[in-house]
């Protein structure tokens, strides 16, 4: 099949979808559309516009290697800068004409007879494609806590990933439910303007300091003139990250815990310090980073609440024992449905089998990219690929799916599907490696696990290892097929 004639639909215009689109154009695959439910591109960096939002991966690792950004304002990039980078990326590589914002995918159905997918959009219209690339990732569907009365609260309320910028928090009484990544970033900003802030913490997290002094204009100009300085820093950062991704170095873990405990000493009140100290080992849950979070607890208008929430009334949050705190606003900062992945869409593969049924024990995919029974369906940021810098991991995944797409043209195949036994062997190996990461088995509550208890988000090796595994195709792991010339012509 001529590369220019292969019809490709990409679901999601975040980093994964944009990277895929750029590389498709490089390789001569021109007939593709990027379908995005949101009003604009950017994925999680478009949705997460809460105050203080920024990346917890160093900026030097948060641009694609083939479009290296040298003028970040500081070592950890802010949300507006990252979103700006993604917009510039789309413009630079001619992706705008392929992107359809406000066109979310509700359903995707595979047809064996035509070896193609039909995508039904939220609008009811359809898109036919030979290949589908899911780039919706992990952080797309907000998770809402099951708290009695939340739906009957009469004040303002929203999820941190859907921030209401039209509401003025000046002087307001604000409840923030959740104390993980989003809350750690937004609470110090909200405290600056709100009259009273109640942070409802279920579990204390490790929040470590970071080297994040803004770059001077002179430094930024130097980076622009000589990017090799940042490239060297990127290489060193990636090496360090690879060494620490699975928390296998006890001395390094101890250093991280010591740094986190020292940071908590910023809090003047000894009782609050005690409540902020984690009881799980560093790495059991996602490590967090902030230089301002603990200092916020020295402000008189921030109260840490560790009693569990019992219910919510029309105007207050009520904790166990009946203690009532009247609030004007509730901000839900409880993260995302991270273990859904592609199951966030109604997907039907061979014989009409749904992806939710195929994943009834939790999401599973060969190299995080393909699931058996769903031909010509590839994933970016799929199951068990979360670790390190996701932009780096996405690059490897895109190169891997391109290796498959070249076969469509070079070998004249119509479909490819990973064999169930190959996928199972791979997953068994990954799960064995995960079982060997001691801190992930420490029993803390984390977004890593599916309801079955299996860790379905984390990659248990280094980014270098993932690069090596995706560098070549194991042809024995796949079955392929061809339509007859007549059937292809009718299609």
For the chain, the domains span 3-141+338-490, 150-206+248-332
Question: 199 with 303: CB under 8 angstroms?
Answer: yes
- CB distance 280 to 444 below 8 Å: yes
Is 3.50.50.60 the CATH number for 3-141+338-490? yes
Q: What is residue 163's predicted lDDT score, i.e. its pLDDT?
A: 98
pLDDT digits over 174-189, tens only?
A: 999 999 999 999 999 9
Instruction: Please report the pLDDT score of residue 489 as a whole number.
Output: 40
Identify the CATH number of the domain defined by range 150-206+248-332.
Answer: 3.50.50.60
DSSP 101-138: ET--EEEEEEETTTTEEEEEETTS-EEEESEEEE---S
Give the phi and the psi of residue 124 in degrees, each rounded to 5: 95, -15
What confidence score (pLDDT) does residue 484 get?
Answer: 66
| 3-state SS assignment for residue 154 | coil
- 49 within 8 A of 79, measured Cβ to Cβ: yes
Domains 3-141+338-490 and 150-206+248-332 share a fold: yes
Provide the greatest CA pair distance for the chain. Answer: 77
pLDDT per residue rounded down to tens, the chain (491 residues):
678 889 999 999 999 999 999 999 999 999 999 999 999 999 999 999 999 999 999 999 999 999 999 999 999 999 999 999 999 999 999 999 999 999 999 999 999 999 999 999 999 999 999 999 999 988 888 999 999 999 999 999 999 999 999 999 999 999 999 999 999 999 999 999 999 999 999 999 999 999 999 999 999 999 999 999 999 999 999 999 999 999 999 999 999 999 999 999 999 999 999 999 999 999 999 999 999 999 999 999 999 999 999 999 999 999 998 999 999 999 999 999 888 888 889 999 999 999 999 999 999 999 999 999 999 999 999 999 999 999 999 999 999 999 999 999 899 999 999 999 999 999 999 999 999 999 999 988 889 999 999 999 999 999 999 999 999 999 999 999 998 653 444 34
């Amino acid at each position: 099949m001529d590369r220019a004639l292969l019809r490709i639909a990409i679901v999601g215009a975040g980093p994964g979808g944009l990277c895929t689109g750029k590389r498709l154009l490089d390789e001569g695959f021109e007939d593709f559309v990027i379908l995005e439910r949101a009003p604009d591109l950017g994925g999680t960096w478009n949705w997460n516009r809460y105050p203080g939002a920024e990346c917890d991966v160093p900026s030097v690792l948060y641009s694609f290697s083939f479009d290296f950004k040298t003028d970040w304002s500081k070592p950890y990039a802010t949300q507006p800068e990252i979103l700006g980078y993604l917009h510039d990326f789309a413009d630079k590589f001619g992706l705008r004409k392929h992107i359809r914002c406000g066109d979310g995918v509700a359903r995707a159905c595979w047809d064996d007879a035509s070896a193609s997918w039909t995508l039904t959009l939220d609008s009811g219209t359809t898109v036919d494609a030979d290949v589908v690339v899911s780039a919706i990732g992990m952080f797309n569907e907000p998770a809402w806590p099951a708290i009695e009365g939340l739906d009957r609260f009469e004040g303002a309320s929203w999820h941190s990933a859907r921030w209401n910028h039209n509401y003025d928090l000046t002087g307001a009484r604000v409840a923030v439910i959740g104390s993980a990544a989003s809350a750690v970033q937004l609470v110090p900003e909200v405290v600056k303007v709100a009259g009273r802030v109640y942070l409802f913490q279920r579990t204390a997290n490790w929040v470590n300091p970071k080297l994040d002094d803004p770059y001077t204009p002179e430094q930024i100009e130097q980076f622009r003139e000589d990017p090799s300085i940042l490239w060297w820093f990127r290489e060193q950062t990636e090496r360090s990250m690879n060494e620490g991704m699975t928390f296998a170095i006890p001395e390094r873990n101890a250093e991280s815990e010591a740094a986190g405990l020292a940071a908590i000493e910023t809090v003047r009140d000894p009782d609050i310090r005690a409540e902020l100290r984690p009881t799980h080992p560093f790495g059991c849950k996602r490590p967090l980073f902030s230089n301002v979070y603990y200092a916020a607890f020295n402000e008189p208008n921030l109260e840490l609440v560790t009693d569990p929430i019992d219910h919510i009334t029309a105007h207050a949050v009520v904790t166990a024992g009946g203690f009532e705190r009247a609030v004007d606003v509730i901000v839900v900062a409880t993260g995302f449905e991270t273990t859904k992945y592609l199951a966030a869409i109604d997907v039907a593969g061979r014989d009409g089998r749904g992806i939710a049924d195929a994943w009834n024990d939790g999401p599973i995919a060969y190299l995080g990219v393909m699931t058996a029974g769903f031909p010509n369906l590839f994933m970016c940021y799929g199951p068990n690929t979360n670790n390190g810098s996701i932009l780096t991991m996405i690059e490897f995944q895109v190169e891997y799916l391109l290796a498959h797409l070249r076969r469509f043209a070079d070998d004249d195949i119509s479909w490819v599907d990973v064999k169930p036994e190959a996928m199972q062997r791979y997953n068994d190996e990954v799960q064995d490696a995960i079982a060997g990461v001691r801190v992930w088995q420490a029993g803390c509550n984390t977004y890593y696990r599916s309801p079955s208890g299996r860790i379905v988000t984390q990659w248990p090796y280094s980014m270098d290892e993932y690069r090596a595994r995706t560098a070549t195709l194991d042809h024995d792991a796949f079955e392929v097929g061809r339509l007859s010339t007549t059937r292809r012509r009718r299609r």
